[in-house]
Amino acid sequence: MTQSPTLSRRPASSGSPLPRKKRQRGTDARAGYTFLLPWLLGFIALTVGPMISSLYLSFTNYNLFEPPKWIGLDNYTTLFQDERFLQSVGVTVGYVVFGTPLKLAAALAVAMLLNSKRRGQGFYRSAFYAPSLIGASVSIAIVWKAMFGDSGPVDQGLSFFGINLGGWVGNPSMTMPMFILLTVWQFGAPMVIFLAGLKQIPGELYEAASMDGAGPVRKFFNITWPMLSPVIFFNLLMETIHAFQIFASAYIISNGEGGPAGSTLFYTLYLYLRGFSDFRMGYASAMAWLLVIVVGIITLIFFRTSKSWVHYSGDSK
């Protein structure tokens, strides 16, 4: 960096140092790509390749045994007449719209509690993060199924307070709250990011606000929220994309069927059933691509709207 002013002052025609630098940059790049190679090969062979072939398959009728038959856009048009598909869209959108904000609210609330100086914060941080470490696992889904089943701990706990809902697992109107609780409980990952963001907010701001007589609510909306907005944006984006992909817990809790009465037929679960139970790989591929496109559009919308509420430090706003 210190050299660059001298370099730029040299006339371009003198030649020799510039090409050398170029050459060196070339070797650097080559070395860089060489180190990247294992990852790149994996990415191309395991991600890009299958994606391209699934794009092709989405325009075909493919049952795994016989060669794919080209049928154009048929899969995409049939999708919108398929009641089970529309149901799966409804279930997934409900889950994303209610689950994600609640999860982020829980994460932010806990992060703010853990941000204050108190004895044993290190322990609490680990304790609150733990559910997220094990949360995505198969065993937790099995435990939740037992907890929310007939005469499980949740049922018994609620009947102690005189609320008799019975088991949640078999009740079509209670399965969605159960899944939302499961995701809210796994707030650890966004919480850690929020916590890091909160630590970046200069303490002087709060001090100054206190002197001016601002209460905690005021401080939250005028300091914490705007200062934290890039982190909130990041978490919102990641968690939304994540929520669209829910599969494992739904598969286990509903025995891979999406029941009861289709109330847990999440998008990816239906995609899986279409592909691997009904052998309709073309149809499943079309569903997969539709999901990619929709999530892409939602991400784009998030980025567009972010300008009005996300403040980066150094911004004039």
Partner 1 sequence: MINRRHFLTTVAIGTASAAALSACGNGSSSSGQTGSAEKPVTINYTWWGNDDRAERTRKAIALFESKNPDIKVNGNFTDFAGYWQKRATEAAGGGLPDVMQWDLSYLRDYGQRNQLLDLGTVKINTDAFEKSLLPSGQIKGKTYGIPTSTNAFAVYYDPAKLAPLGIAEPDGSWSYKEFNDFLTQVGTKSNGALYGGTDYTGVWWMFNIWLRQNKIEAFTSDGKLGFSKDDLKKWWNLTGSLRGTNAIIPEDRVTQLAPKSPFGSNATATEVTWDNFMAGYLGDSGAKELKLVPVPSDDPDNLGLFLKPSMLMVASAKTKFKDAAARFIDFMVNDPEVGQIFKTSRGVPASKTQRDGTTFEGTDKLVVDYEKSIEKYLKDAPEPPIVGFGTLEASFKRIASDLNYGKLTVDGATDAWFKEAEDLIKQNS
Instruction: Examine residue 170 and tell whether it contacts partner 1 (CB under 8 A).
Output: yes
Residue 284 dihedral angles phi and psi, to the nearest 5°:
-65, -40
Instruction: Examine residue 63 and tell whether it contacts partner 1 (CB under 8 A).
Output: yes
Q: How distant, in Å, are the alpha carbons of 50, 98, 264 from that of 293?
A: 16, 22, 23
Give the whole-angstrom CA distance, residue 205 versus residue 212. 11
Give the whole-angstrom CA distance, residue 52 versus residue 216. 52
Instruction: Examine residue 197 and tell whether it contacts partner 1 (CB under 8 A).
Output: no
Residue 60 dihedral angles phi and psi, to the nearest 5°:
-130, 170
Instruction: Examine residue 65 and tell whether it contacts partner 1 (CB under 8 A).
Output: yes
Instruction: Examine residue 276 and tell whether it contacts partner 1 (CB under 8 A).
Output: yes
Instruction: Examine residue 149 and tell whether it contacts partner 1 (CB under 8 A).
Output: yes
Q: Which of 99, 100, 115 is nearest to 220 (CA)?
A: 115
For partner 1, the closer of residues 15 and 157 by Cβ is 157
Size of the site for partner 1 (CB under 8 A): 26
- HSE-CB for 50 with a 13 A CA cutoff: 9
Contact positions with partner 1 (CB under 8 A) in 37-56: none
Instruction: Examine residue 277 and tell whether it contacts partner 1 (CB under 8 A).
Output: yes
Give the whole-angstrom CA distance, residue 18 versus residue 131. 55
x-or-dash string of contact with partner 1, 232-261, rule CB under 8 A: -----------------------xxx-xxx
Smallest distance, partner 1 to C-beta of residue 64, A: 4
Instruction: Examine residue 83 and tell whether it contacts partner 1 (CB under 8 A).
Output: yes
Instruction: Examine residue 147 and tell whether it contacts partner 1 (CB under 8 A).
Output: no
Binder among 103, 125, 242, 280 for partner 1 (CB under 8 A): 280
Show the DSSP H helices in 213-266 as ranges.
Answer: 216-219, 225-244, 248-253
Stretch that binds partner 1, among 34-42, 170-178, 204-212, 232-240 (CB under 8 A): 170-178
Residue 117 dihedral angles phi and psi, to the nearest 5°:
-85, 120
Smallest distance, partner 1 to C-beta of residue 170, A: 3
Identify the sign of the CA torsion 127, 129, 134, 137. positive
* Site residues, partner 1 (CB under 8 A): 61, 63-66, 83, 149-150, 166-167, 169-172, 255-257, 259-262, 276-280
